[in-house]
């Protein structure tokens, strides 16, 4: 399983799962465009990518702004060439009861977790449709499949990503563009580490494998979807959650 000659955009590549995906894609031979709002974090990721021998471009991007997204895509195309795969990995949340949420919080959660997927996907589609090839890999959450107490609007946004994935997969199949979705469970990211210890212990106890995922374990699924091994898979949702959510 190699990604040699592939140009891949990874959003949210400054840290956590996005960074792990960018690094793993590079380790399998891809050239990578990293997009994140945190410029300093992107510099760190870029340095690690270069050590792996990857040609890379780091673009400070506000994925909740369509103009910023289209500029990032154009810069990627100008630097690396046509885009073979997009990984939509930006995500954000605060855990609290729904009735305590502020309207501003709802808007931010929906913009970051759902609208960013819409914007980035649309921005790469013209090039993929023209060459009749491409892959879009969306990082949702198991919260979007089964709900999650204290994350109601986040779960709704991630559920939207799941439905968006399936619908877009149907629309663009005629262009040989494959669209799939990964739903991580609790994962050892900076956002997770910021949660109260009692909550982290409860989550780890609830997971059949008795631990949370490492970002690299989610990255493995993304690399698979980006590879030629997944050439006949589209519209699919895969959980990487240690068995936390077991669906028949």
CATH number for position 174: 3.40.50.720
> What does the pLDDT average to over 169-184?
98
Task: Catalytic residue, from 154, 175, 192, 247: name it.
Answer: 154
Which residue range(s) make up the domain with 158? 7-240
Indicate if the pLDDT at residue 248 is higher than 80: no
| Residue 2 within any structural domain of the chain | no
In this structure, is residue 247 part of a structural domain? no
Both tokens assigned to 202 = 């409860």
CA distance linking residue 138 with residue 192, whole number of Å:
20
Residue 245 falls inside a structural domain: no
Inside any domain, residue 1 = no
- Asked whether the predicted pLDDT for residue 196 surpasses 90, the reply is no
Question: 25-37 pLDDT, tens per residue?
Answer: 999 999 999 999 9
Per-residue pLDDT tens digits for 35-84: 999 999 999 999 999 999 999 999 999 999 999 999 999 999 999 999 99
Question: pLDDT tens digits for 115-134?
Answer: 999 999 999 999 999 999 99
Give strand pairing partners of 208. none
| pLDDT at 15 exceeding the cut of 90 | yes
Give one DSSP letter per residue of 166-206, joined into a string.
Answer: HHHHHHHGGGTEEEEEEEE-SB-SHHHHTS-HHHHHHHHHH
**pTM score over 0.85:** yes
Residue 247: per-residue pLDDT:
57
Whether 248 maps to a domain, the answer reads no
Contact 138, 182 (CB under 8 A): yes
* Residues in a beta bridge with 180: 137
Give the residue-averaged pLDDT of 14-27: 97
How many separate domains does the chain show? 1
108 lies in some domain? yes
Any catalytic annotation for residue 28?
no
Does residue 149 fall inside a structural domain?
yes
Would you list the DSSP string of 116-159?
HHHHHHHHHHHHHHHHT-EEEEEE--THHHH--TT-HHHHHHHH
The C-alpha atoms of residue 122 and residue 88 are separated, in whole angstroms, by: 12
Q: Give a yes or no: residue 217 inside a domain.
A: yes
Q: Tokens at residue 114, please?
A: 């759902």
Give the integer Cα–Cα distance in Å for 49 and 95: 32
Report residue 152 CA to chain centroid gap: 20
């Amino acid at each position: 399983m190699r990604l040699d000659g592939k140009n891949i955009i990874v959003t949210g590549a400054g840290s956590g799962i996005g960074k792990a995906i960018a690094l793993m894609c590079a380790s399998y031979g891809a050239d990578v465009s990293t997009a994140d709002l945190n410029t300093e974090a992107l510099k760190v990721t870029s340095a690690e990518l270069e050590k792996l021998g990857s040609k890379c471009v780091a673009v400070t991007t506000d994925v909740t702004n369509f103009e910023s997204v289209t500029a990032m895509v154009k810069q990627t195309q100008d630097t690396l060439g046509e885009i073979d795969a997009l990984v939509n990995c930006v995500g954000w949340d605060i855990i609290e009861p729904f009735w305590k949420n502020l309207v501003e919080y709802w808007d931010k959660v929906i913009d970051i977790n759902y609208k960013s997927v819409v914007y980035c996907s649309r921005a790469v589609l013209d090039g993929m449709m023209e060459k009749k090839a491409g892959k879009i890999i969306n990082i949702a959450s198991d919260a979007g499949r089964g709900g999650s107490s204290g994350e109601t609007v986040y779960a709704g946004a991630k559920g939207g990503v799941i439905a968006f994935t399936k619908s877009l997969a149907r629309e663009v199949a005629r262009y040989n563009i494959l669209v799939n979705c990964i739903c991580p469970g609790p994962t050892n990211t900076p956002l997770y580490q910021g949660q109260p210890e009692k909550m982290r212990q409860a989550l780890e106890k609830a997971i059949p494998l008795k631990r949370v995922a490492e970002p690299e374990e989610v990255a493995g699924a993304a690399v698979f979807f980006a590879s030629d091994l997944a050439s006949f898979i589209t519209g699919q949702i895969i959980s990487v959650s240690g068995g936390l959510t077991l669906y028949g």
